[in-house]
Amino acid sequence: MGQTQSDQPNFLTGAQAIMQSLVEQGVTTIFGYPGGAIMPTYDALYDYQDRLHHILVRHEQGAGHAAQGYARMLNKAGVCMVTSGPGATNLITPIADAMLDSTPLVCIVGQVRGNLLGTDAFQECDVIGMSMPVTKWNYQVVDANEIPEIMAKAFYIAETGRPGPVLIDITRTAQSDKMTIPFEYKPIKTLISYKPRIDPKAEHLEAAAKLINAAKKPYILAGHGVLISGAEQELNDFVDKTGIPVATTLLGMSSMDADHPLYVGWPGMHGNYGANFLTNSCDVLIAIGMRFDDRITGDLASYAKQAKVVHIEIDPSEVDKNVKADAPVIGDAKSALKALLPLVNKNEHTEWRNEFRKYDEEEYEKIDKKDIFHTGDKITMGEAVHMLSNKTKGEAVVVTDVGQHQMITNHYYRFKKRNSIVTSGGAGTMGFALPAAFGAKVALPEREVIAIIGDGGFQMTLQELGTIAQSGLPVKIIILNNNFLGMVRQWQELFHSRRYSFVELQNPDFITIAKGFGIDGHKVEDRTELSNSLDTLLNSKTPYLLEIVCEKEGNVFPMVPAGGSVTNVRLE
């Protein structure tokens, strides 16, 4: 902006426009990694450091997962910024994960100079083509003037309706060029081609209420939509009035207090016995903000066939996709529950609720008791998580990776506080937890954030220990180490005649690795030291890693074998 241009108005460059758009959108945090094609934007960021807190990750995948953890805590878009080519491809896994788990992300990706597009230039890749199947929307910017409008559109699409990831690919020239018009950021409130329905139709609500009021054995499945729309209170009010038992899905976990008398656990492949089995006994199944994933339904042909289905869902393409809805309610979970409340009758379903207890008792005898009061030499994952749940009073934010420890965590952690789970559900991305836990801690530093990770998944993104150490944020990390890719091993044991094909790991010394990154930690093998070890972890004012050496060949039960019926639950 030297004097040579004094005859020109002082317009922003594209890069400055990106920064100014983020500020005006209310963004405060960026997870990113610089590189050639995004350098003009990083140069502009240098002058915005007082307004935009940029966190330098160690790998672009870490930026994506951290932004996911951040987004899921705050229910607003997480922002990541990476360079072209490999920077962009490294971001694809978190984008796909965010797409399946309805997580709002705005990914700003550098691209080669406009005149080099399509020429196989250095670090060029067709990120628009590559990300198309896994983004809610994407767009390539080649003109600096477009930036404010496209940024506003990106946030609007990412955060509204069923949230999801959005990617903006910006050529180096669009970043470095000066705009030829004055910068103006206008948040977008509506788009002609995209109109998510928030408030359900009255006739839909009436049809749903009619089914619910006539039900003798109604059963609620509360999903991620409850957390995303912030409908925890509405769900509680609805349940308290109608007396309907509630199970929460893996991603809907923590939408209800685990000690609520009507809470009956979770459905799904490793969910609770009663929560699965009684799906095929209820007369009205009320699904709220969930999409009947195959890990919940098992065999569709025998899933809840006796029940009338009320499906409250913001994404119309999910209705009737897997399970036919008798009363679809298209809309946001919060406004649907709020609108349904006056239409439903006050009721009690004590006898029906108590049916679940019989299954709970059997499950406790056959599974929990053996896990919690284990007599073997080694600690079980179950007893570790059970103890953690007690020590944290169920009030921590728990971030899990993928595998046995994930299922165990959802089985034994008794969530008492709303919006307290971050896990990779739809995609099942190993390596998710460490960066996601960091992102969650950045979002809510006042809350205790605990990452629970297996020894396999930890080694996929462990470089983010560096990011955590540099931030100084006290993220608490637990590795449940069984020296196996445990879930695959379990399947090989149960379904492949114990032919253990490439599941045993020779692990590094995790504590030395943590210390190498400047993170304190220790390893516990002896049951008598488990309690003190968890105290040390929880009392630490700095990031801390606790490695818990677990039973090597422990299995996760209950289990509905893949593709099996929900009544076919294995307890041992």
Partner 1 sequence: MLTTYTISIFTTNTVGLLNRITIIFTRRRINIECLTVSETERKGVSRFTIVIRNENREFVEKLVRQIRKITDVLAVFGYLDDEIVFNEIALFKIATPLQGESIDVKTINLDWNAKVVHWGLEYVVVEKNGTEDEIHEFYSYLKKWEILEYIKSGRVAVGKTEKGLVAYLPEGNWEIV
Q: What is the contact surface with partner 1 in residues (CB under 8 A)?
A: 128-129, 132-133, 136-138, 140, 157, 191-195, 315-317, 320-321
Give the single-character DSSP code of 104: -
Phi/psi at 437 (5° precision): -65, -40
Q: Is 167 helix (H, G, I), strand (E, B) or coil?
A: strand
Q: How far is the CB of 140 from partner 1 (least distance, A)?
A: 7
Cβ neighbour number for residue 75 with a 10 Å cutoff: 16
Q: How far is the CB of 167 from partner 1 (least distance, A)?
A: 12
HSE-up (13 A, CA, CB side) for residue 36: 10
| Amino acid in position 33 | Y
Q: How far is the CB of 320 from partner 1 (least distance, A)?
A: 7
The answer to whether residues 93 and 64 touch, using CB atoms and an 8 Å cutoff, is yes
Tokens linked to 432 = 């998710």
Of residues 168 and 452, the one with the C-beta less far from partner 1: 168
Cβ neighbour number for residue 559 with a 10 Å cutoff: 21
Of residues 1 and 132, the one with the C-beta less far from partner 1: 132
Q: How far is the CB of 78 from partner 1 (least distance, A)?
A: 19
Q: How far is the CB of 316 from partner 1 (least distance, A)?
A: 6
Of residues 321 and 366, the one with the C-beta less far from partner 1: 321
Of residues 142 and 503, the one with the C-beta less far from partner 1: 142
The answer to whether residues 450 and 392 touch, using CB atoms and an 8 Å cutoff, is yes
Of residues 324 and 496, the one with the C-beta less far from partner 1: 324
User: Which residue, among 151, 159, 135, has the nearest Cα to 75 in the 3D structure?
Assistant: 159
Q: How far is the CB of 156 from partner 1 (least distance, A)?
A: 10
Rounded to 10 deg, the angle between the 333-340 and 232-242 helix axes is: 30
Residues 6+ away with beta carbon under 8 Å from 339: 199, 200, 205
Query: Looking at the DSSP assignment, which residues form a beta bridge with residue 109?
Result: 82, 169
Give the single-character DSSP code of 289: S
Give the single-character DSSP code of 51: T
3-state secondary structure 67-98: HHHHHHHHCCCEEEEECCCHHHHCCHHHHHHH
Of residues 169 and 371, the one with the C-beta less far from partner 1: 169
Cβ burial of 473 (10 Å; 0-12, 13-18, 19+) is middle
Q: How far is the CB of 386 from partner 1 (least distance, A)?
A: 41
Of residues 126 and 493, the one with the C-beta less far from partner 1: 126
Q: How far is the CB of 193 from partner 1 (least distance, A)?
A: 5
Rounded CA gap, 485 and 471, in Å? Answer: 30
Q: How far is the CB of 455 from partner 1 (least distance, A)?
A: 34
Of residues 132 and 181, the one with the C-beta less far from partner 1: 132
Q: How far is the CB of 225 from partner 1 (least distance, A)?
A: 16
Of residues 193 and 506, the one with the C-beta less far from partner 1: 193
DSSP codes of every residue in 517-531: TT-EEEEE--GGGHH
Of residues 137 and 415, the one with the C-beta less far from partner 1: 137
Of residues 234 and 318, the one with the C-beta less far from partner 1: 318
Of residues 97 and 169, the one with the C-beta less far from partner 1: 169
Of residues 318 and 401, the one with the C-beta less far from partner 1: 318
Rounded CA gap, 482 and 376, in Å? Answer: 14
Q: How far is the CB of 318 from partner 1 (least distance, A)?
A: 9
Rounded to 10 deg, the angle between the 333-340 and 202-214 helix axes is: 60
The answer to whether residues 245 and 286 touch, using CB atoms and an 8 Å cutoff, is no
Q: How far is the CB of 315 from partner 1 (least distance, A)?
A: 7
Query: Looking at the DSSP assignment, which residues form a beta bridge with residue 288?
Result: 222, 312
The answer to whether residues 477 and 453 touch, using CB atoms and an 8 Å cutoff, is yes
User: Which residue, among 484, 485, 479, has the nearest Cα to 548 in the 3D structure?
Assistant: 479
Tokens linked to 420 = 């307290």
Q: Calculate the dihedral angle through the C-alpha atoms of 97, 101, 105, 110, rounding to the nearest 10 degrees.
A: 20
Rounded CA gap, 102 and 318, in Å? Answer: 13
Q: How far is the CB of 187 from partner 1 (least distance, A)?
A: 17
Q: How far is the CB of 137 from partner 1 (least distance, A)?
A: 5
The answer to whether residues 227 and 337 touch, using CB atoms and an 8 Å cutoff, is no
Of residues 32 and 104, the one with the C-beta less far from partner 1: 104
